[in-house]
RNA sequence: GGCGGCGUAGCUCAGUCUGGUUAGAGCAGGGGAAUCAUAAUCCCUGUGUCGUAGGUUCGAAUCCUACCGCCGCUACCA
């Protein structure tokens, strides 16, 4: 029976176009989703957009649009980006969709009836020109942190979620499920935070009009975070498809940025506990990208546009760089210099050149056809062992989402294959030992063929291109996992030598 | 302020939990080989105060203390 696998990105706020950080998160999910599909799991990979809230209404009116018109525009841009980056999501949820609004209202009502949401008063400092409430701690010298104007203390009617009630249960859960939060250094911060005491959470607003109405009290709208988090339930059929819900919930991985880790590891679990629903198995908080050593920000004007980078270096090179450059979970630095270095060293010199030299030799020495392998010698066995051992090593890393280590292991095999060529020196064998030559070339091609399966989740286009070069007729996407076993390459297959996969980039930057 | 983390080769880091061979890897640099290949590849090449000062120990990058430097978290802004 196929296992299920439910993985999510956050839903991205539609206040602006997406940047490298969003692309990073989504590409990482895509890699994992593709790998799991290859394993034969039934995958639900979800992404989408968070469309409610004051900021969206403001952004829209600034452009002379209604909030929904504005959201529609951003959504169409987001979808274009995911297509460009080869993102293979199964669903794209928008919080303005009817299926979601109904789910949120249902859940709000349920929690209210249960007593976990109650009506109270929210006390805060209100800035009339920004129409926003602030906590005392957010004020800068008693003034609005946004516009600097004087704020006034106001009380607002609000519904509250009894977050405080779940403090103990959360700590117990963290304790009993050490894998729940990753990376571990962020876990410590969360545990600490909960230990410090939890206050009930205001989960409705009367000042915010652009939001989902509280069903039994329409002057309130649902707080955007509650609205947003519930998307994970909506999309797997919480309300409308019991069978689907039973199958996919709980989510296997919520992959989120470190800045929203807390919402996913504290507030979200507490809500689920209140609903009596199992918690997601894992929440992973990834790091941020700086650019040329500097924090990325609009005001600095250094926001990296994923479209631009993919157009300049290729989508796969971009995907590769993001996944390879930084241990997953840590912050990383994006620079063209670093990208070019990775591109040349890993993609052009190691992988690309390995393919080129292998295919050329097959063309020159054995008429472009996969030869018949003969008896194995020591270096053959070493190579084959490396290739065969890849699966076991890689799957451990996938479980921990150490995607950069997955690539590290794949490239170890690629490096080894280059060394294998030097050791066996086929150009000499060509003159001295045809049988041995054929074995060596077969092993090389077979190594490339198997490795291509491992490259596929990271660089789908590249995998497809290598696959074609190797003379495979079926699409690699349709291949079952068994095809990655050593020795499935058929002798006699006609290969297709061609231009370099990754032409070297002159690094005069 | 409170809690936590980090400081190892020019650069990025592994190793520290479970103390014990000459402290490792990649990239960059230097030398050489080879010629199938995208001047790619392969081989050789690092005497590094393992932040500083103490301590524990037969023995510490690894445990403890202090100090210096950097960073994260400290809720309702997505």
Quote the pLDDT of residue A132.
Answer: 65
Quote the pLDDT of residue A296.
Answer: 81
As a whole number, the mean pLDDT across chain A is 91
- pLDDT surpasses 70 at A1: no
Q: Which nucleotide is nearest to A161 (CA to C1')?
A: B76
Q: A246 with A174: CB under 8 angstroms?
A: no
Asked if the bond preceding A250 is cis, omega within 30° of 0, the reply is yes
pLDDT more than 90, % of chain A: 69
Helix axes A315-325, A460-469, angle to 10 degrees: 120
A431 phi and psi angles, rounded to 5 deg = -95, -20
Q: Any residues with CB less than 8 A from the CB of A345 and at least 6 apart, and which? A: none
Strand order in the sheet with A204-205: A204-205, A217-222, A213-214
Q: Please spell the DSSP secondary structure of A53-90, one letter per residue.
A: SHHHHHHHHHTT--HHHHHHHHHHHHHHHHHHTT---S
Per-residue pLDDT of A420-479, as tens digits, reads 999 999 999 999 999 999 999 999 999 999 999 999 999 999 999 999 999 999 999 989
Residue A183 (CA) to nucleotide B5 (C1'), in angstroms, measures: 12
Q: From the Cβ of A357, is strand B under 7 Å away?
A: yes
Give the count of beta carbons closer than 10 Å to the beta carbon of residue A158.
21
Q: From the Cβ of A313, is strand B under 7 Å away?
A: no
Q: A267 with A201: CB under 8 angstroms?
A: yes
Residues 141-200, chain A, CB closer than 7 Å to nucleic strand B = 163, 185, 188-189, 192-193, 196-199
Assign residue A425 a region (left: φ > 0; alpha: ψ between -120 and 50; beta: otherwise).
left
Assign residue A330 a region (left: φ > 0; alpha: ψ between -120 and 50; beta: otherwise).
beta
Quote the pLDDT of residue A129.
Answer: 64
Q: At A195, which helix (H) or strand (E)?
A: helix A184-195
Q: From the Cβ of A454, is strand B under 7 Å away?
A: no
Q: Which of A453, A457, A480, A481 is nearest to A467 (CA)?
A: A453
Q: Which nucleotide is nearest to A506 (CA to C1')?
A: B38
Q: From the Cβ of A353, is strand B under 7 Å away?
A: yes
- Can you give the pTM of this predicted structure? 0.94
CA separation for the pair A46, A37 (Å, rounded):
14
Instruction: Give Dmax over CA atoms of chain A in angstroms.
Output: 91
- pLDDT surpasses 60 at A152: yes
Quote the pLDDT of residue A87.
Answer: 97
Q: At A412, which helix (H) or strand (E)?
A: helix A403-424
Q: Which nucleotides of strand B are protein-proximal, with an atom < 7 A from a CB?
A: 2-5, 13-14, 26-28, 34-43, 72-78
Q: Which nucleotide is nearest to A348 (CA to C1')?
A: B38
Q: Which two tokens stand for residue A126?
A: 């209100």
Helix (H/G/I), strand (E/B), else coil: A356? helix
Q: Which two tokens stand for residue A260?
A: 């929203």
Assign residue A60 a region (left: φ > 0; alpha: ψ between -120 and 50; beta: otherwise).
alpha
Nearest-CA residue relative to C1' of B35? A427
pLDDT band at A148 (very low <50, low <70, confident <90, very high): low
Stretch A190-212: mean pLDDT, rounded?
Answer: 90
Quote the pLDDT of residue A325.
Answer: 87
Stretch A181-186: mean pLDDT, rounded?
Answer: 84
Residues 403-442, chain A, CB closer than 7 Å to nucleic strand B = 415, 418-419, 421-422, 425-428
Q: Which nucleotide is nearest to A263 (CA to C1')?
A: B75
Quote the pLDDT of residue A396.
Answer: 83
Quote the pLDDT of residue A12.
Answer: 95
- pLDDT surpasses 80 at A371: yes
pLDDT band at A352 (very low <50, low <70, confident <90, very high): very high
Per-residue pLDDT of A61-109, as tens digits, reads 999 999 999 999 999 999 999 999 999 999 999 999 999 999 999 999 9
Q: In Å, how far from its chain's centre is CA A47?
A: 9
Residues 194-253, chain A, CB closer than 7 Å to nucleic strand B = 196-199, 201-202, 223-225, 228
Per-residue pLDDT of A324-346, as tens digits, reads 988 888 888 888 888 988 999 99
SS3 annotation, A288-301: CEEECCEECCCCCC
CA separation for the pair A316, A210 (Å, rounded):
39
Q: For residue A33, list its beta bridge partners.
A: none
User: Angle at the Cα of A285 (from A20 to A261), degrees rounded to 5?
Assistant: 105
Helices and strands per DSSP (H, E), number in chain A: 20, 16
- pLDDT surpasses 60 at A15: yes
Sign of dihedral through CA atoms A416, A420, A423, A425?
negative
- What ipTM was estimated for this complex? 0.88
Q: Which two tokens stand for residue A485?
A: 């076993």
Going from the C-alpha of A39 to that of each of A43, A452, A475, the distances in angstroms are 10, 15, 16
């Amino acid at each position: 029976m196929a296992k299920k696998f439910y993985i999510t990105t956050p839903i991205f706020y539609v206040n602006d176009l997406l940047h490298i950080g969003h692309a990073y998160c989504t590409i990482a999910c895509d890699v994992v989703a593709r790998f799991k599909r290859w394993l034969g799991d039934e995958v639900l990979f979800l992404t989408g957009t968070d469309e409610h809230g004051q900021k969206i209404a403001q952004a829209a009116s600034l452009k002379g649009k209604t909030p929904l018109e504005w959201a529609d525009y951003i959504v169409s841009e987001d979808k274009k980006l995911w297509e460009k980056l080869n993102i293979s999501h199964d669903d794209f949820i928008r919080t303005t969709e009817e299926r979601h609004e109904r789910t949120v209202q249902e859940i709000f009502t349920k929690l209210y009836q249960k007593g976990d949401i109650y009506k109270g008063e929210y006390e805060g400092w209100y800035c009339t020109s920004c129409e926003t409430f602030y906590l005392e701690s957010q004020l800068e010298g008693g003034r609005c942190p946004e516009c600097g104007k004087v704020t006034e203390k106001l009380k607002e009617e609000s519904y509250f979620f009894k977050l405080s009630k779940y403090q103990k249960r959360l700590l117990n859960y963290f304790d009993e499920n050490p894998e729940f939060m990753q990376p571990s250094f962020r876990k410590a911060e969360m545990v600490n935070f909960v230990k410090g005491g939890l206050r009930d959470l205001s989960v409705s607003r009367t000042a915010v009009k652009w939001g989902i109405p509280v069903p039994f009290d329409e002057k309130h709208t649902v707080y955007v975070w509650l609205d947003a988090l519930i998307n994970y339930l909506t999309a797997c059929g919480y309300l409308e498809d019991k069978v689907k819900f039973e199958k996919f919930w709980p989510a296997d991985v919520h992959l989120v940025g470190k800045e929203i880790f807390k919402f996913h590891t504290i507030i979200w679990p507490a809500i689920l506990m209140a609903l009596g629903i199992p918690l997601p198995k894992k929440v992973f908080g990834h790091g941020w990208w700086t650019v040329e050593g500097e924090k990325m920000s609009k005001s600095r004007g250094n926001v990296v546009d994923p479209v631009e980078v993919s157009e300049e270096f290729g989508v796969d090179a971009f995907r590769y760089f993001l996944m390879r450059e930084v241990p997953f979970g840590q912050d990383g630095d994006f620079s063209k210099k670093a990208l070019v270095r990775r591109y040349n060293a890993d993609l052009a010199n190691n992988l690309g050149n390995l393919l080129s030299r292998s295919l050329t030799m097959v063309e020159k020495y054995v008429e472009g056809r996969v030869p018949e392998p003969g008896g194995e010698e020591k270096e053959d066995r070493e190579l084959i062992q490396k290739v065969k051992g890849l699966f076991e090593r890689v799957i451990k890393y996938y479980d921990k989402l150490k995607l950069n280590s997955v690539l590290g292991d794949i490239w170890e095999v690629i490096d080894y294959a280059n060394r294998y060529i030097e050791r066996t020196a086929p150009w000499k064998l060509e003159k001295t030992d045809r049988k041995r030559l054929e074995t060596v070339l077969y092993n090389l091609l077979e190594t490339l063929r198997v490795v291509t399966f491992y490259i596929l989740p990271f660089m789908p286009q590249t995998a497809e291109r290598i696959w074609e070069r190797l003379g495979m007729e079926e699409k690699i996407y349709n291949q079952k996992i068994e095809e990655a076993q050593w020795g499935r390459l058929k002798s006699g297959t006609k290969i297709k030598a061609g231009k370099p996969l990754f032409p070297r980039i002159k690094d005069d930057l």
